[in-house]
A and B are shown apart, each in its own frame.
Chain A
Amino acid sequence: MPQCPVCDDQYDAGNSLRSHARDAHTGCSYCGETFEQTDALYRHWLAVHPEKLDSRAEQEATDAVGELSFEERRRHGGLGNALSGGVNRRTVLGGLAALGVGGFGAAAATGAFDGAEPQPLSEHPAGKAIDSQPILGDGLDETAATIVAFEDPSCTSCARFEQQVLPSLREKHIATGNVSFVYRGIPIIYPWGQEATRVLEAVYAASPEAFEPVKSAYYDQQRRFDKQTVWSESSALINELDIGLNGKDIVNTAQTDEAVERAVQTDLSASRSAGVGSTPTFFLFRNGEYQSKIVGPQRLSVFESALNL
């Protein structure tokens, strides 16, 4: 608790103590020095303790004795205080804030941030075995931009991307031949995603055209699935979609085919090499060169800006 350096009285707060020392002792609450006149105390405050004064005290002292000249600050507070006079907390805080913002801007402007290393899609970890993945669009060699998406059919964020972002992306950029969209399934979210990812691989192997409707149906009906029912419900789902596939056969392939397991492991391996930590994660390529990555189902404008579409 602040204590008066003259009479040892205690106060709850610094400004109460400062008022007490001024009124009772014409003294300085910071160092205990006493004065004949209040104006001398004010000059002492401004010359010796400018950094300790709050705005009210500073105003009070300045109103009484005016701004101190360099000579006055030197006379009352010594050369050191005279040289640093006027540097109060506000100045320091403002300076630090300006330094932070300015430093950040300067670093950005001078290229202190190097940005993405240019790396061809074929050599990028996200591009591993990319030719065997489901692709929306005209093909990797035909479009200016490529998006490689790592998703999990059980992921609710991926479902929001599928329902709220992908339709616009398809309409504006995939259908018009600007973008190719590659799907890579990695089961890392809810447990039933492991079986669903295998089913999707089996569907793609049996009929590439059937892949999109099954994937969309998983996202649309996520609440339908859990670890216990995922096989039977997946079989029923495929039959309901009327895509020319037999649900039971697809599920059987998903359960037993080693090629399906290898395909899932290839995607998981690619995701680990590429540093995917969550789904959905999108790797962006422009003219075959890596640009950056987007995490989460960000809005279309973010994809458009990042790929300069």
Chain B
Amino acid sequence: MTLRQYLPPIPTTIADVKTVARVCRLVLSAPRYALVAIISFPFSMMLFVVPRNFTLVVDTVLSGSLPLLSRLALLFGLFPTLNGAAYTLITGVLLYLTAAIVSINVALLAYHVREYGVQLQTGASGTLGTLLGALGAGCASCGSALLAGVLSLLGISGSLTLLPLDGAEFLLVALVIALLSIYWVADALRGGMVRGCPIR
């Protein structure tokens, strides 16, 4: 009995990566799960960008007297754009990439729940990936008090100087977790069939 038995599996071979790609292709080729992924995408983005401006969203989008179109414009105005200042190019790209991976993950989880029920392991990892994505988005704003607080707790002075990407490092971690989460869902589908095709 080794410690590894208690740890979630990680992909180690090209075959593992191919399995993930195959599962994603098969699940997303079903219109209903493709739709789940597409609908999840803006919500995933909101999970990343809204916490940073939660007060603003509550004050102006969810309450106040603005017309509906202004509220929507304000909400989607928080999303990264190529010429926007809120996020650097690398952070913006990482945010969209992570949101896309999380959305695919949601579609796979929906398929898994529909066909096999819920397993805590995959559910928890998906949640962790989402949480890390949110942390990365918030932290990528310069001067995250949370990050500075954590680093100072660890006795690291100079704080953000140690993070060359200004906190986008957390997004990279989130991206890896989200990718791992997709692998865990795909791994849980091994031995079964997806849309009539065997997953090995």
Contact = CB atoms under 8 A, between A and B. Distances in A.
Interface of A: 12-16, 54-56, 89-90, 93, 107-108, 111, 113-116, 152, 155-158, 160-161, 163-165, 188-191, 277-279, 291-299, 301-302, 305-306, 308
A291 B86 contact: no
A269 B74 CA distance: 30
Max count, chain A CB within 10 A of own CB: residue among B58, B84, B114, B144: B84
Contacts of B61: 108
Nearest to A186: B143
Contact of A164 (B58, B63, B85): B85
B192 A13 contact: yes
Nearest to A277: B145
Max count, chain A CB within 10 A of own CB: residue among B60, B84, B142, B143: B143
Interface string B82-115: 0111101000000000000000000000100111
A293 B55 contact: yes
B165 to A, nearest CB: 11
Max count, chain B CB within 10 A of own CB: residue among A93, A296, A298: A296
| Interface SS, A side | mixed
Interface in B141-200: 141-146, 148, 158, 160-161, 166, 189-193, 196
A301 B71 CA distance: 11
B119 interface: no
B58 A115 contact: yes
Contact of A115 (B62, B88, B142): B62
Contacts of B158: 191
B192 A157 contact: no
A293 B61 CA distance: 13
Contact of A165 (B56, B59, B85, B143): B85
Contacts of B71: 305
A13 B193 contact: yes
Contacts of A299: 77, 81, 84-86
B52 interface: yes
A305 B88 CA distance: 23
Interface in B25-84: 52-53, 55-56, 58-64, 66, 70-71, 73-74, 77-78, 81, 83-84
Contacts of B142: 152, 155-158, 189, 278-279
A191 B114 CA distance: 53
B74 A155 contact: no
Closest 6 CB pairs of A and B: A12-B191, A115-B63, A13-B192, A292-B59, A157-B142, A277-B145
A108 B66 CA distance: 13
Contacts of A188: 143, 145, 148
Contacts of B148: 188
Nearest to A13: B192
Contacts of B116: 13-14
Nearest to B65: A308
B26 to A, nearest CB: 13
A191 B156 CA distance: 13
A262 to B, nearest CB: 23
A301 B73 contact: yes
A278 B55 contact: no
Given A15-B115, A93-B114, A155-B143, 10 more contacts: A12-B192, A111-B63, A115-B62, A116-B63, A191-B158, A294-B56, A295-B55, A298-B77, A299-B77, A299-B81
B95 to A, nearest CB: 13
